[in-house]
Amino acid sequence: MLIHSASQLITLAGPPQRGRELGRLETIPNGAVLMRDGMIVETGTTLNLLNKYPDEERLDADGKAVLPGFVDPHTHLVWAGDRAAEFEMRLQGKSYMEIMAEGGGISSTVKATRNADHETLLHETRERTNNMFAYGTTTAEAKTGYGLELKTELAQMEILLQLDHEGPLEIAPTFLAAHA
């Protein structure tokens, strides 16, 4: 597949960057990228790649930016419950310890996660992974950790493995049974 005519093709060419260098991206105006079997084979200008690979299947990206997928290196995807009320409490100046004393904090998430059935956790986590993918994340490390007991932690791991297998988001699961 030859994706061509991108207004901007953003690449990760060059050595690793740090500090202010992170703000500088390698950009190819009117760029093209050749992909085969899900792998990037070559990048360059549209003119060069169209001439070099005239028989490739093509996708016109005119007027669009093409960039690598995002990788989220730290997520907790499998959980139940809603802690939106805690945001208001924080705005009122309450500390995390005060919120916990009122039944909020991680303990409320642990309780809701333990009480949720497998299908609910699977459905809600699938929605999260689909949303991440829709916004450009292609890979995520995902931790368990909201069960704090073996049965729920293993159930969370099963969900992560199932969703990784289903795709489209690639999930690197981490068993984190001592998150509290």
**Domains in the chain, start-ordered, CATH in brackets?**
2-68 (2.30.40.10), 72-174 (no CATH)
**C-alpha–C-alpha distance, residues 108 and 122, integer Å:** 19
Residue type, 93: G
pLDDT at 47: 98
Residues in the chain, overall count: 180
- pLDDT 10s digits, 133-148: 999 999 999 999 999 9
pLDDT at 9: 98
User: For residues 163 and 124, is the Cβ–Cβ distance under 8 A?
Assistant: no
Strands of the 137-143 sheet, one edge to the other: 70-75, 137-143, 170-174
Query: In 3D, which of 111, 104, 70, 74 has the Cα closest to residue 89?
Result: 104
Percent of the chain with pLDDT over 70: 99
Mean pLDDT score, 79-103 = 94
Positive/negative CA dihedral, 109, 120, 163, 2: negative
Q: Is the pLDDT of residue 89 over 70?
A: yes
Question: How far, CA to CA in Å, does 63 sit from each of 4, 6, 44, 58, 161?
Answer: 10, 6, 17, 15, 37
pLDDT at 38: 86
- Phi and psi dihedrals of 41, rounded to 5? -95, -40
**C-alpha–C-alpha distance, residues 100 and 98, integer Å:** 5
Query: In 3D, which of 38, 39, 45 has the Cα closest to residue 6?
Result: 45
Query: In 3D, which of 53, 54, 24, 59 has the Cα closest to residue 41?
Result: 53
Average pLDDT score over the chain: 95
- pLDDT 10s digits, 48-70: 999 999 999 999 999 999 999 99
Mean pLDDT score, 82-95 = 94
| Burial profile 50-74: b = 16 or more Cβ within 10 angstroms, e = fewer | beebeebebeebeeeebbeeeebee
pLDDT at 179: 56
- pLDDT 10s digits, 151-160: 999 999 999 9
